[in-house]
Amino acid sequence: MITGITECFGGDISQLFRKSPCHILFPISKEGKRGDKDGEGALDQECVSIIGCRFSIKLPDGTMLHKRGPRNLGEVILHKIEEKTFHALVCYSNYEEGWGSAPKIIKEYLDSLVLTDSDKEIISFVMDNDETELKLGGVDLTEILKRVAGSNKKVEIYLVE
């Protein structure tokens, strides 16, 4: 269930980190970076760069999130900092698969989360909302929001422009 939608202009997601939700979910691509297929180029989405760099999110092997290599669709990279847990969900491809399976992967992941009593707060879902990026990437934001709304978790949406 969606509890609210907040638009964050100029990439400013600082309000997200002042709020109480302990879980922050955001989409990442299976390639790691967009650009060429060797992983060179810009990060997946601006929100990945903002979150990954601001919180120095690392993979279990110590690699920084924004320097990661290829991953599998449906894979999740978890990173805990103080009271917040970041969920980097591999749910789209910059190439063949595109964003076609993303709505289903996102909803299935949300529904699969087991939250403890202290974690029953709202989950924050952060995603880019740049119209050009969405069109070029073939992102169906309406379908993603519809699937999130059908989840059994309370989710606050943050759209980064």
pLDDT digits (tens, 9 = 90+) for 112-142: 988 776 555 667 887 776 665 666 667 788 8
pLDDT digits (tens, 9 = 90+) for 40-99: 433 455 566 566 666 666 666 776 666 666 788 999 988 887 778 888 888 888 777 788
DSSP the chain: -EEEEEEEGGG--HHHHHS--SEEEEEEESSSBSSSTTS-SSBS-HHHHHHHHHTT-B-TTS-BGGG-----TT-EEEEEETTEEEEEEEEE-SSSSTTTTHHHHHHHHHHH----GGG-SPEEEEEE--HHHHHHHT--HHHHHHHHHTSSS-EEEEEE-
- Residue with the bigger pLDDT between 103 and 79: it is 103
Looking at the structure of the chain, the number of domains it has is 1
Domain extent at residue 32 = 2-160
For residue 26, the domain's CATH number is 3.40.220.10
